[in-house]
């Protein structure tokens, strides 16, 4: 949701160590699922458009399609603001 999230913030939110998050980010970048650009002293993360899911059984939908479904599901489960 926040392309400018710090590794520290992602780790805290996911209950992982910063080192584990760094490794996951590196693996996603190696696989072509994530890209980053340097903005000052920070990184800005982006999912390249059209990135396909890796498994042949999942051919068709893209990573962006999957994330859109997860975002819709998460928004539906969040309590409405008063």
- Residues 37-68: pLDDT tens digits? 999 988 898 888 788 877 777 677 888 888 88
Q: Give residue-wise pLDDT tens across range 63-74.
A: 888 888 888 755
Same domain, yes or no: 41 and 70: no
Give the separation between CA 35 and CA 65, rounded to whole angstroms. Answer: 17
**40: alpha, beta or left? (left if phi > 0; alpha if psi -120 to 50):** left
Q: Which domain holds residue 62?
A: 49-81
Place of tokens 């489960």: 77
| Whether residues 3 and 16 fall in one domain | yes
What is the domain count for the chain? 2
Q: What is the pTM of this model?
A: 0.68
- Do 41 and 53 belong together in one domain? no
Name the phi and psi angles at 67, rounded to 5.
-65, -35
Count of positions (residues) in the chain: 82
Contact at 8 Å (CB) between 18 and 58? no
From CA 80, how far away is CA 45, in angstroms rounded?
28
């Amino acid at each position: 949701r926040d392309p400018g999230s710090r590794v520290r913030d992602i780790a805290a939110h996911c209950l992982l160590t910063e080192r584990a998050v760094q490794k996951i980010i590196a693996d996603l970048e190696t696989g072509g699922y994530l890209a980053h650009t340097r903005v000052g002293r920070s990184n800005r993360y982006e999912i390249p458009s059209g990135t396909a899911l890796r498994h042949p059984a999942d051919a068709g939908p893209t990573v962006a399609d999957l994330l859109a479904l997860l975002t819709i599901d998460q928004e539906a489960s969040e309590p409405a603001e008063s």
